[in-house]
Amino acid sequence: MSEYGMHEAPADVVVANNDELVRKLDANVIADAAKADAQEHKMTVREAFIIHRRAIFWSMALSAALIMEGYDVVVIASFYGQPNFLKRFGVPAPNTDAGYVIPAEWQSALSNGSSAGGIIGLLVNGWAADRFGPKIVMMCSIVALTGFIFIMVFAKSLTMLVIGEVFCGIPWGVFQTLTTAYASEVCPIQLRGYLTTYVNLCWGVGILLSSGVVKATLNINSDWSWRLPFIIQWVWIVPLFLIVYFCPPSPWWLVRKGRLDEAEQSIMRLTNPAVYTSDQAKSTVAMMVHTNELEKQAAAGTTYFDCFKGTDRRRTEVVMMVFAMQLLSGENLIGQGVQFLQTAGISTSLSFSLNMVLNSMFIIGTIISWGLITWFGRRTLYTAGMAIMAVVLFIIGGLGFIGTNSSTMAIGSLLIALNFIYNSTLGPICYTLIGEISSTRLRQKSIVLSRISYQIMNIVCGIIVPRMLSPTSWNWGPKSGFFWAGSATLSTLYCFLRLPETKGRSYGELDLLFESKTPAWRFKSTKVDQFGTHHHGSVHPDTKEEIHHLE
């Protein structure tokens, strides 16, 4: 037996050691787990949709929280080119159309405020969601956000706005992880990619709504032109609270808590009772128990410290990098779309119109990604998307030296193309990867750490990007594309070396691949036997006979 608790097998096969599990669990549990695993792998997308349509509904409904978060987080950045907001909070800048500008340091404070609050919310969520359950934490966060929005609406200074961003960032941090974890836990392998990438679409809907609302209030000649977009945030509160209250709890969380009967009940609420029986639900719970015990056997704990121990260290590194590379790809230029377009020489009105087209790519691109994810692996799409973005950013940087009307419009078009590429590949695929790569026992905390890495990188970008674009600071404008092209190129190299392929793998299979230290480029080709059928002594005779019968 190897030091990782697996039986020796050919180089292209990883076999689990179930000796200890058979002694610890009822002999029939492994057989039931194998049965559920075999059925899930053989299931078609159409069958998965019919059986798990309730899970699809609840996952999509809960992901609507990201519509609210996408709207809230981005709306403040849209105000950096909004004349009334600039007049109220800005300083004179004769070279701009509006006559005023928000100083780069205050832009950094506003952007970093929500990121700092988000880190606090993420850390609290990683602990609280595991102890009290995701539903309770989510509902408390929604109630808290209701009060925090008041600070933004009635802000009298940039200082109050920064404080409001920090406080609002705390519940936003909760929304960011719970929705992704839920989507990755309630649906089978065939649907996981679609529902985790749907998270990106919801984020895009929120961003598009924010750009539309800001443009609609552009001509209001009072403070209400920037207060109304903040007020609209209250619209989401009641329906979102009701969705969270009525949605079934995650069966994986219930299994980790030893509440197996409740896990079966949750699975029945998430499936179609006309085609899915209670016996099948029992087998699915057995598969979850088996996976949970495999991870416990590999010494997987449930604390933040455990995320950096043993094989989980590699998994944590990859999920943190996958999220951080969203910003290293140059995506942050898209988040500053209005100001970027204006520094390129595009008028205020046209910049807001192009910003709506820019943000619509979140929706269009995610829908395109559903087709791509059907045919291509996660590793392929993420790496290819990063490489293409690097090329586009090099072109944008080069056009920044020309300065003609044609080059200015070309930059606007390329920025839209950049957002389309991002949202067709690495943008949505990121959520699938972080949901699949993390171990089930550490999923909440792994996703929290991945999002924290994003927020830390967001703080860095919040400091340097406004200075890159601001006419009162570095004033790089489109030339900043060169800087982000370099970081995207380095990120592409990382993807080739460290990013594994997770498509079509159960969580138990992924556990064994990581435990065996399989190189990232061999994840796709390596075979996995998580029930030890290649080792005749690893399974109880009755159980082994049933497993072979299933195969």
5 pLDDT exceeds 60?
no
What is the rounded (10 degree) CA torsion for 389, 391, 397, 400? -100
What is the structure's pLDDT at 144?
94
Calculate the average pLDDT of the chain: 83
pLDDT band at 541 (very low <50, low <70, confident <90, very high): very low
Distance of CA 342 to the CA centre of its chain: 29
pLDDT band at 543 (very low <50, low <70, confident <90, very high): very low
Token pair of 287 as six digits: 């598969």
Handedness of CA 423, 461, 446, 529 (dihedral sign): positive
Token pair of 488 as six digits: 């995207």
343 pLDDT exceeds 80?
no
Of 19, 41, 25, give the one whose Cα is nearest residue 535.
Answer: 19
98 pLDDT exceeds 50?
no
What is the structure's pLDDT at 27?
62
What is the rounded (10 degree) CA torsion for 483, 486, 488, 494? -140
pLDDT band at 494 (very low <50, low <70, confident <90, very high): very high
Of 228, 161, 200, 466, give the one whose Cα is nearest residue 338.
Answer: 466
Helix (H) or strand (E) holding 101: strand 100-101
**Coil, helix or strand at residue 228:** helix
Q: What is the bridge-based pairing of β-strands 13-16 and 527-529?
A: parallel
Task: Give residue 116's identity as a one-letter amino acid code.
Answer: A
Write the DSSP symbol of residue 518: -
Q: What is the bridge-based pairing of β-strands 6-7 and 100-101?
A: unpaired
76 pLDDT exceeds 60?
yes
Domains of the chain: 52-247+298-499 (1.20.1250.20)
**Among residues of the chain, what percentage have pLDDT more than 90?**
31
235 pLDDT exceeds 90?
no
